[in-house]
Amino acid sequence: MNLIEMNSICKRYHNIGFETQVLEDVTLHIKEGDYVSIIGPSGAGKSTLMAIMGCLAQPTSGEYILDGEEVGKLNDRKLSRARNEKIGFVFQAFHLLPGVTALENVILPLVYAKRSPGNAKDKARELLARVGLEHRLHHTPGQLSGGEQQRVTIARSLINDPRIILADEPTGNLDSKNGIETMKTFDNLVKEGKTIVLITHDKEVAQHAGRIISILDGQIASDRRVNHAENTEVRST
């Protein structure tokens, strides 16, 4: 069963006087448990695709079915709930709330959850420990390094146990060591059965996925499956 099903998605932005076509007739199906990289040069429409996938923006035309529900027909409350329950976001710019501790940042999605578990704090602590931040629970983003902030973001994306993790350039603001750490975390999440969609312009990062979709000028240019043998081969050449 397809967890993400996009059919003929178009997205146009209206600016004063002219119109920009960002996505043109994108059809894309992603199965549960898939590990997908979306690559392409900047301005190709990767982020817009992710915004639509994450229910943060609506397509101009086309149909998007998320987990069997047609997103275009959802009202604000149901859309918000879909974001809250089905999707975990990891942003390049982290997007943590400033002045709020790591622990509280991780709990944030549960604040808006329909059923907030009583052990929210324990759960958040557990997740922060998992990303190696058990000693940084009460630090605010300003007191954390970039790598640490990214790990808080990952913990936040997992708190409500979503089925999909959408990561937009998760290594973009990190040094190589932290980048490798982050990618390891994603690799482990896939093993646990999460569906991961990774947006990047870094070919090496993209290689972690089992499927690489490349976007060019708002259209899918290629969509190929990779296995590890191939992976190594690409690297060596």
Partner 1 sequence: MFSSFGIAFRALYAHKTRTFLASLGILIGIASVIVMVAIGKGSQKEVMDIIAGMGENLITVNAGEMKRRGGRLRLTGNVTTLTVRDANRIMDEITDVEAVAPYEEKRMVAKFGNNSAETTVAGSSSDFPVVRGYRIESGEYFSEKDSKTANRVAIIGTTAVKNIFGEEDPLGQVIKVHFIPFKIIGVFEPKGVDTNGLDQDDLILIPISTYMRRIVNQKHITRIFIRASSRENIGKASEAISELLRESHKLTHDRNDDFTLISQLDMEELKKETTEMFTKLIVGVAGISLLVGGIGVLAVMLISVKERTREIGVRRAVGATRRDIIRQFLYESLIIGFLGGGLGIVLGVGLTLGLTHWGDWTLILDQNSIWIASWACAGLGVLFGVFPAIKASKLDPMEALTTE
Q: Where do contacts with partner 1 occur on this chain (CB under 8 A)?
A: 47-48, 51, 54, 56-57, 76-77, 80-81, 83-85, 89, 91, 95-99, 104, 107-109, 111-113, 156, 160
- What number of other Cβ atoms are within 10 A of residue 49's Cβ? 27
Residue 233 CB, shortest distance to partner 1, in Å, is 37
Which CB, 53 or 212, lies closer to partner 1?
A: 53
Which CB, 112 or 232, lies closer to partner 1?
A: 112
Q: Is 95 left (phi over 0), alpha (psi -120 to 50) or beta?
A: left
Whether 92 and 168 have beta carbons less than 8 Å apart is answered as yes
C-alpha–C-alpha distance, residues 29 and 48, integer Å: 16
Residue 86 CB, shortest distance to partner 1, in Å, is 10
Which CB, 22 or 39, lies closer to partner 1?
A: 22
Which CB, 65 or 108, lies closer to partner 1?
A: 108
Nearest alpha carbon to residue 57 among 148, 133, 166, 207:
166
Residue 5 CB, shortest distance to partner 1, in Å, is 20
Which CB, 121 or 130, lies closer to partner 1?
A: 121
Residue 152 CB, shortest distance to partner 1, in Å, is 12
Q: Where are the alpha helices (DSSP H) in the chain?
A: 46-53, 76-86, 102-111, 120-130, 146-158, 176-191, 203-206, 228-236
C-alpha–C-alpha distance, residues 195 and 4, integer Å: 10
Residue 127 CB, shortest distance to partner 1, in Å, is 14
